[in-house]
Amino acid sequence: MRTRSEHPDYILLVVILMLVTIGVVMVYSASFPLSLLRFDHQWHFVSRQLLWALFGIIAMIVASRINYWKWQQLSNVLLAITLLLLLLVFVPGIGVTVQGSTRWIDLGFFNMQPSEVAKIALVLWVAARLAQKEGTLLNFWRGTLPIISLTGIMAGLVLRQPDLSTAVVLVLSAGFVLFAGGLPWGQIALLLGLGVSALYLGIISAEYRLARFMTFLDPWKDPTDAGYQIIQSLYAIGLGGVFGRGLGASIQKHFFLPEPHNDFIFAVTSEEFGFFGGAVLIALFALLAVRGLRIAIRSPDKFGGFLATGITAMIVAQAFMNIAVVTGSVPVTGITLPLISSGGSSLVIVMGSLGILLNISKYSRE
């Protein structure tokens, strides 16, 4: 039985607003040299980030006011729309290609990234399916196989763009929901084996991915080309020391570090605020994970619990993947830091998803 509170999880709300605020500040700091070079003023990227943050806050407020179980009824429709959007990316004249990647749809006034929608749509669908059919995972062929098949199709479409990192986040998000749903250990072992095999094939299927993996093993072997990004990122982190060089004082953002306001914004944060600043960001994402899992555990029904688990995993897994890339712990994949990196579709979708999580937090078991 659901017991409703008038208030959401305020600790989670504060964490979200802190991360978004840090994101706006760091997008400005990391992007102003590039903005000056390209647009003759320093406000281009941060003004867009502020606008998207506003849209994100609106999306979060709206989602937090919609009873979360209503999403269960819409999950099939949202999934079908998302699959259509993922296919439209490859239609000439509709899909937009940037730096060799076709990940966006031109809507005229902005480019939408369907793979961002795919993450929350998949989590909603898997959560709804598991909640509707209790014990479904005990039967691999009728329960687990349809879920992993659809997850594989969506991940394959995203990988075709190509976007390996988002494909991995899709698989991880669905995997965490399956685990929360009571996936038997034998099936977990099987899926881990399939996942590792798929990741291996994904890496060797493209020369640039294989080059990135080999560079990860020894970036100094090719410091001016394949290893350049991670070396410059490590320089930035090292220059920050314990307490950093100060806000705006990063050296590496001045055209040494590629994408300083996107994929490598954590490196700029660590350079300007040091180990302390990086640790604060990590702690905030860890706290987000704790509050999200607490909401999942306290949810009054299975759908709410599965959905809260999936949303939390979707955001936190991407955050720690990005930090792992920036610190040289895993190969470079081109993944952004949620709520922090410059971006439109990503910020709005993530904040809307967190709005759903806030709505679930208003309810608890009696």
**What does the pLDDT read at residue 277?**
95
**What does the pLDDT read at residue 83?**
95
How confident is the model over 294-310, as a mean pLDDT?
A: 95
Q: State pLDDT tens for residues 213-266.
A: 777 777 888 777 778 888 999 999 999 999 999 998 899 999 888 889 999 999
Q: Can you tell me the distance from the alpha carbon of 288 to that of 11, in angstroms, rounded to the nearest whole number?
A: 9
Residue 117: band (very low, low, confident or very high) from pLDDT cuts 50, 70, 90: very high
**What does the pLDDT read at residue 1?**
52
Q: Which of 14-28, 29-43, 149-163, 337-351 has the highest mean pLDDT?
A: 14-28
Nearest alpha carbon to residue 273 among 232, 242, 319, 235: 242
Report DSSP letters for 143-169, one per residue: IIHHHHHHHHHHHHHHHTTT-HHHHHH
Q: Which has more confidence, 136 or 113?
A: 113
Domain count, the chain: 1
**What does the pLDDT read at residue 5?**
65
Q: State pLDDT tens for residues 245-258.
A: 999 889 999 988 88
**What does the pLDDT read at residue 163?**
83
Cα 319-322-327 angle, rounded to 5 deg: 125
Q: Which has more confidence, 319 or 7?
A: 319
Longest dimension (CA), the chain: 61
Q: Which residue has the tokens 């579709």?
A: 345
**What does the pLDDT read at residue 292?**
97
Q: Which has more confidence, 212 or 272?
A: 272
pLDDT of 98 strictly over 80: no
Q: State pLDDT tens for residues 23-40.
A: 999 999 999 889 888 888
**What does the pLDDT read at residue 106?**
78
Domain that holds residue 338: 2-365
**What does the pLDDT read at residue 214?**
73
- Whether 34 contacts 328, CB under 8 Å: no
Residue 20: band (very low, low, confident or very high) from pLDDT cuts 50, 70, 90: very high
pLDDT of 291 strictly over 70: yes
**What does the pLDDT read at residue 365?**
61
**What does the pLDDT read at residue 194?**
85
How confident is the model over 193-200, as a mean pLDDT?
A: 83
